[in-house]
Structure 1
């Protein structure tokens, strides 16, 4: 499935293809942001598309990507099981918990959980 703009709980979301290209650089993140300008206010990216450096906070890659989305006023949603990454990093657990308390970056296990969050936030 290609990346597709979907209405999810009344919110236009660019739902990214799980088989799409990896997100391994700021340029890759900017490409997603550009695609979102078709009308999305959120971008749902499968966790498996992120380079493992995203989940290793010492690389600062996650912070750079998240900041790009904030700057362009788009919500970034990381969708999928990241439990192995969370088990390996207390700092990542703290980041995920803090992010999920706010509106700019969310980590959710699946699209159904995203729909619930969007409906609750709506």
Structure 2
């Protein structure tokens, strides 16, 4: 996909030794094999896996979008989960909410951020200070 496989669309540590991974929601899910492989590898490494649903195949015209509920953003009191007008949106938001019982969890349309090549987690990452040079 156009994110070149951003890991925050696939795997998120949500507690010590606990990894959140999507699970395929249909036969046409574009990442079904990747999700199954990631789960098998994590469990083989002794990591506890908590699964959330995938939104399934999300398209824009002929383009398959890299849509994932795993690209949620965590704040001090709130978790924001991207939604995609998928029949799995409510289940996806509820599954993420179970991972963070100490925070409110809401779903918000993620289409605009997704069109730019990411999700809420991607958009919430650090930016270098003005004038910073590598």
TM-score band, normalised by the shorter chain?
A: 0.3 to 0.5
Larger Rg: 1 or 2? 2
Structure with greater strand percent:
2
> Please, what TM-score do these two structures have when normalized by structure 1?
0.32
> Please, what TM-score do these two structures have when normalized by structure 2?
0.30
